[in-house]
Structure 1
Amino acid sequence: MTEHGHHHHPGHAHQHEGNLAEVLDLDAQVLGSYLDGATAWAAELAPAAETIVDVGAGSGAGTLALAGRFPRAEVVALDKSADMLARTLNAARAQGLAGRVRAVEADLNQSWPAVGGADLIWASSSLHELADAQRTMRDMFAALQPGGLLVVVEMDGLPRFLPDNFHDGLESRLHALLAGQGWNSHPDWRPGLEKAGFAEVEQRAFPTVGRSTPDLASRYALAFLGRMAPALDGVADAGDLAVLGSLLTDGGKDTPLGGPDLVVRGSRTAWAARKP
């Protein structure tokens, strides 16, 4: 997931990453059914994958989903954050997957790391955050074994928590302002993938309605909207900021974020591309 911010926007690193890890973990718990669908699709297209690289692994939700989907594969979690990688390895140990998950710290804005040949590269909400995504796609192409597969996953928009008519479309207005700041901005990756040398590019949508406990849904909503708030300060209308602040007060109590009827909505699009 990203910013949405999956990786690293400016701020105080440890506090920033701690909050981001919470958002990523909650996203996986609430909207994570897309991981089931997208990893199953990857397994259909690359059933014999033995070495998998998760690019921009974050807190490890995708890494662990891939390790579960491909029980014979080694999964390399790749991220520039040592803290995120430590979280991923801890989660892998907790699930009995430590022997098949390893971590590599690398900043892909600098260079592609020496991780060996891969059968499958997975990049979920990470490719769009790179300074030169086209160069990285060429690096991925070079890192894949012949016949290897690259899967790129992106959010179609920020997750939605509020009724569409809440304060005359508050959430849509806030999302539009964040889009203007580049949150979750990404292209249709097909032309770039083909330019990098990939063939057989396929595209699939994974719409998701959150299925979780009301408590988890509420925690996710509060964590995500709380992450949005600082970016909107001084940008959004004062009245809209006041409403957002009231939603975040007292844990969302007596608001749409704190009730049993909260429905979390989101969708992802995935591109799968083959190295000839």
Structure 2
Amino acid sequence: MLQSMTGYGSARLDTDQYSLHVEIRSLNSKGMDLTVRLPRFLSEHEYEIRTMLTKALVRGKVSICVDYNKNKAQRAKSNINKELLKAYYEELNTAADMVSGSKTDLFRLALHMPDVLQQDQGEDEEGEADWETVQPLVQQAIESINVFRADEGKALTTEIMSYLDRIRILLAEVEKQDPVRMEHIRNRIKNHIIEVSTSDHYDQNRYEQEMIYYMEKLDIAEEKVRLINHLHYFTETVYLPEPTGKKLGFISQEIGREINTIGSKANDSAIQHHVVEMKEELEKIKEQINNIL
């Protein structure tokens, strides 16, 4: 079944100390175009993350972002140096007595003196989460984006197969018109033979050979058979388990060649109309294949 290259997946972990959010996005691309954004404590594991994504997602313009945030309550936690606070307060109180100043804000002033409020460092931010914590989240996000890609692939499969079925219907119309076209050609040739047979330079053997050559150049039987085979091969490829986007692109090129040859050889306005419609449907298929894994 087809998979889209477009997708989105995420995974999240929230603890009392921190939150981790892994987000993966992908768009269509000819190859694997990977962008990685990580917190510093994961920098040494970038290669492992790239390997995981390349193996699982195969192709696409892929970006992964790992956001790490410490809990606000943890960041705000601090200790008061009580001895230093007391010393500052007593100094300020003595100074206020000396100048007969107000003592209303002495505590606030002492509290904000240097080194009174000390941030509780504890474990540093990067030590609170490790690779063993992040790796399962990355894997979970990969699984999430693959589910997204598969769902998009189902919709693309339905759409592409509808275009392919339309080509089959138009080819059936060409099959119906072809005998009529050939009869018109035969009649024109017969009339022409009658006209030229009275000529003094008429060579019947050479003329018959030229007519046979002409009829063979107008015959589209082989092109119709090859086109039917290409359509069957395309359908079989769509439902293969492995990624088939590039392969479908090559088959589409072969389908296009047969359609173009039918159009150039047919020399019939009704068939030409069907050929133009087949080309339109094939262009729709090619446009969608650009987003197929």
Alignment TM class, shorter chain as reference = under 0.3
Larger radius of gyration: 2
The two structures have a TM-score, normalised by structure 2, of 0.26
The two structures have a TM-score, normalised by structure 1, of 0.27
Which structure has more strand as a fraction of its residues?
Answer: 1
